[in-house]
Structures are given as C-alpha cells and as structure tokens.
Amino acid sequence: MGLFKHKAIETVEEANRRAKKILPKDVYTALLAGSDSGATMRGNLSAFEEIGLIPRVGVELPSKLDMKTSFMGQPIELPVVIAPAAAQAMHPDAELGVARAARRAGTAIGLSNFASLPFEDVARENANAFAHVYLSGDRDIVAGRVERFRKAGAKGLIFTLDLSGGRTAFQPRDWGSPVYPDGLDLAAMIRYAPMALGNPSWFFRYLRRGMIPGLDAPNMSKGDGVVPTLVGGLYEWMATPVPTWDDVAWLRELWGGPFMVKGILTPDDARRAVDAGATAIGVSNHGGNNLDTTPSPLRFLPGVVKAVGDQAEVTFDSGIRRGADVVKALALGAQSVMIGRPWFYGLSADGERGVYEVLESFRITIERTLVGLGKSSIHDLSADDLVVPPEYFLNLGSSRSAGIVRGEAAA
C-alpha cells in the first residue's frame, strides 16, 4: 500500500468540488454550461427537492435489490446511463475511460456527435454504446455518419431536438462563457499557457502521457478522412437549419433500429415523435442549456408517459444528482435516467476511476432509497411512494396546472 490511501468519491457534489479545484476556469465553465441566468439549471435541481418520499418500515427485503432495466431495448444492470456530451479537455482518459467505467458498472453509454474520440474506439470499450447525432450538414453528410455508426456496432441512435443549430448554440451566461480555440497552433499555445501553468495538476495529467487536450471532433468527419476541429464542427452545425418532424421521420427510416428523440417535454411532441417512428422518448430540457426559465422535465414526465403508453420507452435527464432523484423519476414512469454533469465531474476529478465512483454512488443511494421505501425492485416503484405538492405537474400546452392521481397526470 502507498503512503496515502485514495478517498473514493461518495457524492456527485464531492466530484463537482474536486473538478472545480483541478480544472482551469474556462474548462470548468464549459463543463458547468447552462444558459442566460441559469434559472432552468437551478430549477432542475430544486424540482427534485420539492417531492418527498414516503418511508415504509418492517418490510422483509431480499439481500440483493433489483435495479435491472433496459435502455433502448438493451438490458442494463443500473438504471443510470451515460448521456452523450462533448467531453473536451477534462481528463486524458476521455470517453474511453467513461466507456470502461460504464461497462464495469453494468450500464450503457451515449456518445456525442462532438465527442473527442471516434465512436469506433468507444464501442470497443463498451459494446452497449449508442450514437448521438445532430442534424449537421446536408442529408448526404448525415447519412454517411449514420452508416459509419451502424458499421461500428451502435445499438441505437439518439437524436437531440432541443438544442439545434445556430439559433440556440453558444448560449450567453451571466457567469461568463468559455472560449474554444480552433486548434492549438503556436499563437493559441502562447495565449493559453497561463491556464496550463495556473492549473499544473490538470496540465501534468496530459504531459505525463505525452498528450495535449483534444480539440477535434472525429465523429463529425464527412468520410473524406479529414477530422474537423470542435469549433469547425460547431460552425457546420450552426449553419444547418433547425430540424423538423419530417427530418425526424427521415432519420428514423434511414436508421431502421432503436431510435430515441431526445428533448421532449409536451405530450403533443411525444406523440409526434412516436408517429415519426421513435422507439424511445428522452424527456429533457438539455440540463438547462437551451431555453432558460423552462420548467424542470420532472414536472412534465407523467404527462409524457401517459401520452406514449406502451408505444415507446421513456427515459429522463436534467437535474439528476443522487439515487433518490433516480428513484423519483422511475416512480413517475421513466424506465431509466441519463446523467451528464455528474459523469463529467467524475471524469474531471479522477478519470475513469472518478466516473466509476460516481456511478457507484448512484447505485448505493438507489439501494438505500429502495430500502427506505420498503421496495425490493425499482419496478415496484410508483407515484404512491411520493409526496407531491399540489399543482406540481404541468398541464402542458395551457397556462393551467394539474395534480396527479395515483401516478397519472390529470387530463
């Protein structure tokens, strides 16, 4: 044993504190993301705190609690999935470390269009890998990327609608927005040298491996062998028109397999997604990175679940920070949840090990919550396990709110 024993990450907030301590300010600001005043980011978190849990005592439980579920038709051991997000300059382990950690935890990974490593490499580390795609470039370019993901063994396609193109890219933030260099030429290295020198622990992680932080977007390649920079990929995306439901139907037909439309809040949009061929619905407000003051997706979840019925699987993201949050989302009808910032924090704090410890913190706190509720399985959860304030759930499409009766949003 060494002189100092590693202290495992016990909570997402602890991982966040470690990430903030080690990362340069611009890198941490990119990780934090959000838009405008950050009202939606804060609301995503507070929405979970408003819902209470009803403990049950004296219940005999098995030694091993059941947390198995499926994500886009694929079985997973933990109902917490890695959401696609552009992991740039956080840790040398990058997406390969995230994929290995997810595999070890028994769960799946979604890989962003703007990831720093090729989908092929990530799928080799975790066979339960799902490709994320934006509508970026013309249809021939998108079709080429989709075919590439198919050949690499993608288990499904995730199509994000709630953060699309130049109309919503590069959100202004009251706390400042990061600047992304378009490559690391000599001028850029000189400009960013103080950042590296001011955060030696972060910089030496790369130096020890003979690396520099990745600034490319290899999954945005057009098949000509040229790998665009992250900024170059973003500019192509920003120049592409915002997708329509016709685009959703086209992409679903092109792909032909498990297909998630992510960024859904209203029952009407959920039904449109199903009509366009979606096999999974991602209830999400993009973690507060799109239209600020949008309410938490948790307030919309029962309405979406009711709208799609058994026609599509429903997953949830935005604001998940602990096992109790996962349990609440599952009790309201989600089949699984996805996390973004939590795995980013873990990766930044300690690479692959940090991501795995964050996932294990979810496993431990889900189990603790199930025990407190007297449940032996996540499939036994329902709205009857929750205390929900009056008018908490939104009757979407109108200015009125609706209560919830035994897990169903009022019509």
- Whether 286 sits among the annotated catalytic residues: the reply is yes
Q: From first to last of the 411 residues of the chain, give the pLDDT tens digit.
A: 455 568 999 999 999 999 999 998 888 888 888 888 889 999 999 999 999 999 999 999 999 999 999 999 999 999 999 999 986 678 999 999 999 999 999 999 999 999 999 999 999 999 999 999 999 999 999 999 999 999 999 999 999 987 654 554 556 777 776 666 666 555 655 566 676 667 788 888 988 998 878 788 999 998 777 888 888 888 888 888 889 999 999 999 999 999 999 999 999 999 999 999 999 999 999 998 888 999 999 999 999 999 999 999 999 999 999 999 999 999 999 999 999 999 999 999 999 999 999 999 999 999 999 999 999 999 999 999 999 999 999 865 543 334 443 333 333
In 10 A of CB 15, how many CB atoms? 26
pLDDT digits (tens, 9 = 90+) for 152-161: 999 999 999 8
User: If you write DSSP's letter for every residue of 13-80 in order, what string do you get?
Assistant: HHHHHHHHHHS-HHHHHHHH---BT-HHHHHHHHHHHTSEE----S----SS-B--EEETTEEESSSE
Among 74, 73, 125, CA closest to 103 = 125
pLDDT digits (tens, 9 = 90+) for 164-188: 545 545 567 777 766 666 665 556 5
Instruction: Spell out the residues 6+ positions from residue 2 whose beta carbon is closer than 8 angstroms to its own.
Output: none
Instruction: Spell out the residues 6+ positions from residue 183 whose beta carbon is closer than 8 angstroms to its own.
Output: 215, 229, 231
| The pLDDT of residue 407 | 37
Residue 159 contacts residue 138 (beta carbons within 8 Å): no
Among 379, 386, 263, 380, CA closest to 324 = 386
What are the helix (H) ranges across 182-221? 186-198, 200-208
Rounded to two decimals, what is the model's pTM? Answer: 0.91
Residue 284 contacts residue 305 (beta carbons within 8 Å): no
In angstroms, the first-to-last Cα distance of the chain is 61
Q: Where are the beta strands (DSSP E) in 140-291?
A: 157-160, 259-264, 280-283
In whole angstroms, give the CA distance from residue 220 to residue 371: 45
Burial label, 37 (beta-carbon count in 10 A; 0-12, 13-18, 19+): middle
- Angle, alpha carbons 102-164-344 (nearest 5°): 25
Pick the catalytic residue from 91, 132, 286, 379: 286
Percentages of the chain per state (helix, strand, coil), in multiples of 5 = 45, 15, 45
